[in-house]
Chain A
């Protein structure tokens, strides 16, 4: 798939709009200061996804995934190394981040964080696509990069969009001391045809230039 640097920039912008909205929702929801940034996105072929996930998130993952169907089909997910997942939840809920345990309460909270993020990002993407999509309920799982790659491959065409995501969480709205979980969270977006999305982006680009 040929994707230009401008198109990648446009994709990054789309995702940034989504995560920005998600950060606002998280802020309001947990009363902590949350900032989300996506410094880079890239398209990775489904053949390579396992290795890429392994190198960014390690061998043990916590993933929140949400399938979607309709005019386009696919899956979107938020992938953490399990220890930073439990750290994030501890920060958001104000717990002591003592143990790396992801018990079912933390898993529930993490699923909600994933839900907020994935809804927001899917919101900005479907705005561009102007297509009708219906969503499945998000699911939480702890899995290996192999399992995750297999699950994504079955729902995506040749490429998957990966967005490296930075979380900055302060203890309160006014806190200057910020904890950062950086470069470890991956937003994943796979669908049966990326061409549809890229087409729309090209068209918007042309409209802007004209």
Chain B
């Protein structure tokens, strides 16, 4: 008995699908040309014989059970590539198995309730490999995104830590500085005429330094609360900020015999205390990070283009290895051991925050042993100075 519709089987011969028909007893009734090519099994060798002799998979009881649904109830079957991979044994020219997806439909026979099973097998090897490649890409992107999110979280935590630290430290420093100033004043009053002119001047220097320190501490406190607070930029003489920084570093300049030269600096839009603080940090670093016995030489420049000023602070110090150039603006990022060069490791982070608050950018160009060139941008004073 031929299955109904078998007269159309010649059509199936020409489909790019592997097509075969099974009888309820598991013997093969039809085997198309495509399958001959895929499996190397000629039609004449397989028709009339049990499929289990040729496909280990279809011999397994779980497949036979599922096929019962076709033979007895006429229900269709899906055999997905992900759960089965291979239905009939077929090896590609490159030696890999042909990945297959099959749909099995019931072919009704002349006696009601009798069905044969028509397998239509699609070669999904290319599709599978494409999706696997896509998945690898997708998973990588997924991982990268997760990593980036983690990094952002870490950075936020560090920033928060810094802010807490700066706030706490500034708060605790205020008190001793206030004592320094007020007892300086008391000393002048009590000692009165016992002080000679030189001693009086020395105390004046101490008090001036203490007041600068007080301002700085206040600024640091401000900075630690900053970010949310919008800045009120005014026209500022960058030259005055620079001079202020030099004054507070006078002793260091003397100790290191540093040579500091500066081009005339312009007026910009900004906050003077923050800008002084920044010069102070950059100059202090430039004097600090030199090889022993080397006299620091520092040159400050300012270049203008249509939208901004770019200020440069170039030194002859030990320089920064390329791999650290991206990290030095992170809070507490110290490239050297504590004993080697002193400092808290927040200086450049404060510079970055200060510049970012001004809507500018700060970066460094450096090679080890060849000095560092810190550069930052600031808005032109004309923009809203009129």
Bind each other: yes
List the B side residues contacting A111 at CB < 8 Å. 78, 80
Given contacts A99-B138, A106-B82, A108-B81, contact A136 B113 (CB under 8 A): no
Judged by a CB distance under 8 angstroms, whether B105 is at the interface is: yes
Size of the chain B interface, CB-CB below 8 angstroms: 32
Q: Which of B30-38, B68-76, B253-261 has 4 or more CB atoms under 8 Å from chain A?
A: B68-76
Do B65 and A25 touch across chains, with their CB atoms under 8 A apart? yes
Do A108 and B77 touch across chains, with their CB atoms under 8 A apart? no
Q: Mark B105-126, 1 if CB is under 8 A from A, else 0.
A: 1101000110000000000100
Do A126 and B83 touch across chains, with their CB atoms under 8 A apart? no
Residue of B nearest to A64 (CB): B78
Judged by a CB distance under 8 angstroms, whether B79 is at the interface is: yes
Q: Which of A112-120, A152-160, A195-203 has 4 or more CB atoms under 8 Å from chain B?
A: A112-120
List the A side residues contacting B139 at CB < 8 Å. 96, 98-99
Judged by a CB distance under 8 angstroms, whether B11 is at the interface is: no
Judged by a CB distance under 8 angstroms, whether B344 is at the interface is: no
Do A123 and B127 touch across chains, with their CB atoms under 8 A apart? no
Given contacts A25-B65, A25-B66, A134-B108, contact A112 B78 (CB under 8 A): yes
Do A103 and B75 touch across chains, with their CB atoms under 8 A apart? no
- With both chains docked as a complex, state the minimum distance between the C-beta of B124 and any C-beta of chain A, in angstroms: 8
Judged by a CB distance under 8 angstroms, whether A28 is at the interface is: yes
Residue of A nearest to B143 (CB): A98
List the B side residues contacting A106 at CB < 8 Å. 82
Do B78 and A138 touch across chains, with their CB atoms under 8 A apart? yes
Judged by a CB distance under 8 angstroms, whether B131 is at the interface is: yes
Which of B66, B74, B82, B101 contacts A135 (CB under 8 A)?
B74
Do A119 and B69 touch across chains, with their CB atoms under 8 A apart? yes
Whole-angstrom CA separation of A92 from B82 in the bound complex: 10
Most buried by A among B73, B83, B131: B83
Which of A30, A92, A101, A108 contacts B101 (CB under 8 A)?
A108
Which of A30, A93, A108, A119 contacts B75 (CB under 8 A)?
A119
Do B76 and A116 touch across chains, with their CB atoms under 8 A apart? no
Q: Mark A76-95, 1 if CB is under 8 A from B, else 0.
A: 00000000000001001100
Whole-angstrom CA separation of A106 from B81 in the bound complex: 9
Judged by a CB distance under 8 angstroms, whether A137 is at the interface is: yes
Size of the chain A interface, CB-CB below 8 angstroms: 33
List the A side residues contacting B81 at CB < 8 Å. 105, 108
List the A side residues contacting B83 at CB < 8 Å. 29-30, 92-93, 109, 112
List the A side residues contacting B105 at CB < 8 Å. 137
- With both chains docked as a complex, state the minimum distance between the C-beta of B317 and any C-beta of chain A, in angstroms: 48
Whole-angstrom CA separation of A137 from B76 in the bound complex: 6
Judged by a CB distance under 8 angstroms, whether B128 is at the interface is: yes
Judged by a CB distance under 8 angstroms, whether B134 is at the interface is: yes
Judged by a CB distance under 8 angstroms, whether B41 is at the interface is: no
- With both chains docked as a complex, state the minimum distance between the C-beta of B327 and any C-beta of chain A, in angstroms: 31
List the B side residues contacting A62 at CB < 8 Å. none
List the A side residues contacting B306 at CB < 8 Å. none
List the B side residues contacting A133 at CB < 8 Å. 73-74
Residue of B nearest to A122 (CB): B75
Whole-angstrom CA separation of A136 from B105 in the bound complex: 9
11 sampled A-B residue pairs with Cβ under 8 A = A30-B83, A98-B139, A99-B138, A108-B81, A108-B101, A108-B124, A109-B80, A111-B80, A134-B106, A137-B76, A137-B105
* Additional 19 contacts, C-beta under 8 A, given A99-B139, A112-B80: A25-B65, A28-B65, A103-B135, A104-B127, A105-B80, A105-B81, A105-B82, A105-B128, A108-B81, A112-B79, A112-B83, A115-B76, A116-B66, A119-B76, A132-B113, A133-B73, A133-B74, A137-B76, A138-B76
> Interface on B for A, CB 8 Å cutoff?
61-62, 65-66, 69, 73-83, 101, 103, 105-106, 108, 112-113, 124, 127-128, 131, 134-135, 138-139, 142
